[in-house]
Amino acid sequence: MSLLILTRHGQSTWNLEKKFTGWVDVDLTEQGKLEAKKAGELIKNNKILIDLYYSSLQLRANNTLKLIQEVLKDKKEFKRAWQLNERHYGALTGLNKEEMKEKIGEDKVYQFRRSWDLRPDKLDKNSPYHPLNIGIYNKVKKENIPDTESLKDTYERVVKYYMEEIEKYLLNSNILISAHGNSIRALCKYLFKLDNGQISQLEIPTGNPLLISFNKDKQIQECRYLDDTRAKNLVVF
């Protein structure tokens, strides 16, 4: 049996400010750091040994993973991939979610956040929030840098990377991925064969590892959050 642990980063500064964050590279809050350390403690207390680590290019996911490793006293290098980044929210990037509800309506904001194939308007390439103007993306090919994304777009890049770079190690390794709400939702859609309606209901809590165990045929045997007091609804699985 092998394990896959999916961990959404701890609370970020823009989570706290209720902003659409996407590819903007913000860090963890103090609460987010505590959530990351708690994630590490949960893994440690369950006596889980991790063989391979993956994260996005983004600071909040990277620092969550580093804090987990610090608790585990594990100094392994981890793989960073832009394909595991959060969904790009286009022109919504940097805007306050509550203010947008007042401006365009709660239903429309929900559609932008949870619909399968609806893209927000493109973010202006001159915006300081555009990935082209953020240093960590300097080595990413420009054709791979989006101006906006739907969850479907996010799914396609996340799942392609997972199938090509991660899935092959499942038979012999325990793997931890530290990523983002939408990149994890995309991966869950693939792993649990969720339809477009089910994926819209799926909420991923920050800093609470989701443990998925597989048999030798890579079929899922078990799925649970390590902190059941902060577990979101897993009925869709």
Residue 121 or 230, more confident? 121
125-138 tens-digit pLDDT: 999 999 999 999 99
pLDDT at 217: 85
| 191 secondary structure, DSSP code | H
Joined together, the tokens standing for residue 113 give 């956040």
Catalytic-residue membership of 102: no
Question: Which of 68, 39, 52, 88 minimizes the C-alpha distance to 204?
Answer: 39
202-221 average pLDDT score: 91
pLDDT at 234: 59
Of 9, 88, 130, 180, catalytic:
9
Sort 228 into a burial class: Cβ within 10 Å, 0-12 / 13-18 / 19+: exposed
pLDDT at 236: 44
Of 35, 86, 88, 130, catalytic:
86
The fold for domain 2-230 equals Rossmann fold (3.40.50)
pLDDT at 235: 47
How many residues are given for the chain? 237
Task: Pick the range with the lowest mean pLDDT from 96-100, 102-106, 160-164, 206-210.
Answer: 102-106
Catalytic-residue membership of 9: yes
- How far apart are alpha carbons 26 and 22 in whole angstroms? 10
